[in-house]
Structure 1
Amino acid sequence: MAELGAHLTAASAGDDRPSIFEAVAQDSLMAAVKPALQHLAKVLAESNPGRFGPLWRWFDEVYVLLDVLLQQHYLARCSASFSENFYSLKRIPVGDCRQQPPATAGLPKRQHWKSLLLLVLVPYLKGKLEKLVSSLREEDEYSIHPPSSSWKRFYRAFLAAYPFVNMAWEGWFLVQQLCYILGRAQHHSPLLRLAGVRLVRLTAEDSQALQKKLAGDTSSQKQSIKEQVQSAVRTALGGVAFSLSTGLSVSVFFLQFLDWWYSSENQETIKSLTALPAPPPPVHLEEGAGTVLLPQLKTLCPLCRKVRVNPTALATSGFVFCYRCVYSHVRGHQRCPVTGYASELQHLVRLYTPEG
């Protein structure tokens, strides 16, 4: 049995293909880094909404921009994405690969741009689609839209079809990985197949060429003004990409720390903190971050100034509103209407009273 399964963990002497574990590990690296950076942005936004609030609201767009710079840098210099280079892999065009091109040569333009789009755009669109589905499900559950809405039937059909579409998408990846394990496919991921490339291990010559290229970029040479500007731009982008790669490596450790911090082992500490006296209500922030004033009667909603219907508390500030009012405000502004604290829809807490 061990001999039959040996090809799953190690390649044969003449095989340059990475094992399935190497391929899957490099795929999961970037997926593990984004939540750590997202949590950091959330903490900054909650500590200083006026300064870091836009970073939290536009985190997906900021992250995809940084991801474009990072992946473009590594594809151009190493013929690999950041995570692939981290695991000593490179991309080569599919075809006759008896004489592999060196990693420093880069990919052909067609494969280069297709790789960049698939590395950056597909995860971004998938994340946006998941957020849209979550929002529509919440709207449907709490009947935010009136029953006569023309969109009602459409998004209910969309919500019903999405699980099957997502299952087909994940199944496509699973089948491709099984074919790769059995040696019937050159790619472990359909995205590599769409890009027209496959993964191979870096050779000793590749490593030496990458080191020489790095040393050559730092050496001073006589250049024209145009070449100096181009060199300065490349150096700046390289510095940004290097900083991102170093930060991402640290973020992987930070993510593991967060997993431990929020694990069940710390629940006793959290319970002891909840037994402390309740803090005073938060005050309004300066610079107009929170513009809604509290009504004198505590039974009124601060937004609509009417008796609260379906009272809902906002966990980030503790104030209570009508569900429809606070849902629309938080969805549109991503902050508490009273204090201005950075907030999300998941921070809404429905309150149940004995009267109903």
Structure 2
Amino acid sequence: MLFQVGGQGTRPTFFEMAAAQQLPSSLRAALTYSFGVLALRRPVFHKVLDYEDEFFALLMLVLEAHSLRTTEASFAESLYGLRRRAVKIKSRRNGNPSHHAEFSNLEKRQKVLSVVFLVVLPYFKSKLNSVYNKEREARLQASLWGDGDDRLADVNFIAEVEPAVDSAGRSAQTTSRRHLTKRIQRVIGILYPWIHASSEGLSFSYQLLYLLDATGFYSLGLHALGIQVCRATGQELMDTSSRISKIRSRERERLRGPAWLKAVQGALLSCTYTVLDYAQTGLIAAVFFFKMMEWWYQSAEERMSAPTVYPPPPPPPPPKVAKEGIPLPSDRKLCPLCSQKRANPSVVTVSGFVFCYACIFKYVSQYKRCPVTLIPASAADVRRLFHDM
């Protein structure tokens, strides 16, 4: 196999890395959906949705900083038992061209830059994406309805003539800012597709190389920081627990002030530790709840939008032979008109009986009816059959 399917070795599988990378997006979708449902009943939550990028970036900043500080892994990586390690590639001696990697704990600089790559860069990418979408919608609207500035040119001119000098200066400053904002949006609209395509292409390249075991770096950011993700051992998990306990004990020892102030600060620290300890479980439960509700509502919408399938109606009863009509022969292969084997069998569509083409065409053309049922018919109701029963 090109990649590890089981959990052997310290190198994580491709599926573990992909799951850890996709967890933040699933978490954001779950939180957005939850706040959207709450906003239907409590309009105050609309403000959270208006600043969705900022609130989610702040939440991830707290979670990622705490996770990197205590476990030396991102929030998603710690859920899968993964750890980040600083790697140094050294060549072996004795003329051997092969290389080997040496792992060590993360430096403070690498932790800070990891937070930048995990939180800050995705935040700016999300803002650029929103600006690009607005610019694209504006261009589409301008192509359909024309530029709004042209329609409001006369109104703006009248509004700029009436104010005083101070108001005119403010209006000119506002106009210059507006033009600068539009220029920035146009530049983003031109450059963002190339930036996004380059980012996605590099990400795909690194993931493909990681899948083929050609590199130990899963992304360009990890390669730039000199960090590889490794699977944590049992001893490392125990060391992490002891490290967290030591950090919290040192933080409690740093408390200063009267006894009541220390008690309040200790209670706040305990609440903070509890929230951070159960944040992983709670947020994973939120993702699970979101996926379940998404499946539930999608199934309900499919059931509501699916067309109602009714059973097919029963076939109409066959037409009866009229008393004055020609009787049917005992052999079904014989023509009722000439009592001979049918030649060029043809059916009368109004009744369904089969005759010779020459016989039925001559009869219908003369009498304007079916010879068996006496139902009115014309020559256009005679159809040729290519398979005679």
- TM-score normalised over the length of structure 2: 0.58
Show the counterpart of 1:322: none
Structure 2 contact 87–101 (Cα < 8 Å) conserved:
no
Task: Map 1:1-356 onto structure 2 (within 5 A).
Answer: 5-10=1-6, 15-49=9-43, 51-95=44-88, 100-101=103-104, 107-143=106-142, 145-146=148-149, 155-156=185-186, 158-213=188-243, 223=253, 225-226=255-256, 235-263=270-298, 265-269=300-304
CA contact (8 A) 2:2 2:212 kept: no
The one-letter amino acid of 2:5's match is T
Give the SS at the match of 1:254. helix
Contact preservation (8 Å) 2:88, 2:102: no
**1:65-108 CA distances to partner (integer Å, 9 max, x unpaired)?**
1111111111111000111010100001121697755xxxx631
Structure 1 or 2, whichever has the larger Rg, is 2
The higher-RCO structure (CA 8 Å, 6+ apart) is: 1
Report deviation, 1:235.
4.3
Q: Is the 8 A contact 2:85 2:106 kept in 1?
A: yes
2:3 counterpart SS class: helix
User: What residue identity is the alignment partner of 1:83?
Assistant: A
CA distance in 1, matches of 2:85, 2:49: 37
Q: Is the 8 A contact 2:82 2:232 kept in 1?
A: yes
Structure 1 CA distance, aligned partners of 2:11 and 2:30?
Answer: 31
Shift in Å, 1:261: 2.9
Distance 2:222 2:54 in 1: 24
Aligned to 1:291: none
Output the CA distance in 2 between the equivalents of 1:222 and 1:145. 60
SS of the aligned residue for 1:16 comes to coil
RMSD, aligned α-carbons: 3.4
User: Normalising by the residue count of structure 1, what TM-score does the alignment of the two structures yield?
Assistant: 0.63
* Distance across 2 between alignment mates of 1:59 and 1:83: 20
Cα distance, 1:117 vs. partner? 1.2
1:258 is displaced (CA, Å) by: 3.0
Q: For residue 252 of structure 1, what is the amino acid of its counterpart? A: V
For residue 95 of structure 1, give the secondary structure of its aligned residue in structure 2: strand
Contact map agreement 1:41 1:59 (CA 8 A) in 2:
no
| Residue type of the alignment partner of 1:82 | F
Cα gap change, 1:194 to 1:62, in 2 (>3 Å): same
- Looking at structure 1, the residues matched to 187 and 303 of structure 2 have their Cα atoms a distance apart, in angstroms, of 44
Distance 1:94 1:186 in 2: 10
Q: 1:55 to 1:7 in 2, by over 3 A?
A: closer
For the structure 1 residues 19 and 222, does the alpha-carbon distance in structure 2 shift closer, same or farther, using more than 3 Å as the test?
closer
What's the offset of the Cα at 1:183? Answer: 2.6
What secondary structure is seen at the aligned counterpart in 2 of 1:7? coil
Between the aligned partners of 2:251 and 2:295, the Cα distance in structure 1 is 50
Distance 1:83 1:17 in 2: 16
Secondary structure of 1:199's counterpart equals strand
Stretch deviating more after TM superposition (209-218 or 220-229): 220-229
Classify the secondary structure of the residue corresponding to 2:10: coil
Q: Mean Cα displacement is larger for which, 108-117 or 242-251?
A: 242-251
Aligned equivalents of 2:251 and 2:26: distance in 1? Answer: 40
Please give the per-residue CA displacement for 1:256-306, whole angstroms capped at 9, x wherever unaligned.
Answer: 12321342553333689xxxxxxxxxxxxxxxxxxxxxxxxxxxxxxxxxx
1:188 alignment partner, SS class: coil
Residue segments in structure 1 that go unaligned for 5+ positions in a row: 273-356
Report the AA paired with residue 41 of structure 2. Answer: S
Contact 1:75 / 1:107 at 8 angstroms: preserved in 2? no
Distance 1:210 1:194, change over 3 A: same
Q: Is the 8 A contact 1:45 1:55 kept in 2?
A: no
> What's the secondary structure of 2:34's corresponding residue?
helix
Q: Structure 1 stretch 80-89 or stretch 217-226: which is displaced more?
A: 217-226
Query: Residue by residue, what CA displacement relative to the aligned partner does 1:226-265 show, whole Å, maximum 9, x if unpaired?
Result: 4969977764543332243222111111221232134255
- 2: CA distance, partners of 1:154 / 1:117: 24
Match of 1:289 in 2: none
CA gap 1:222/1:126 in 2 versus in 1, 3 angstroms: closer
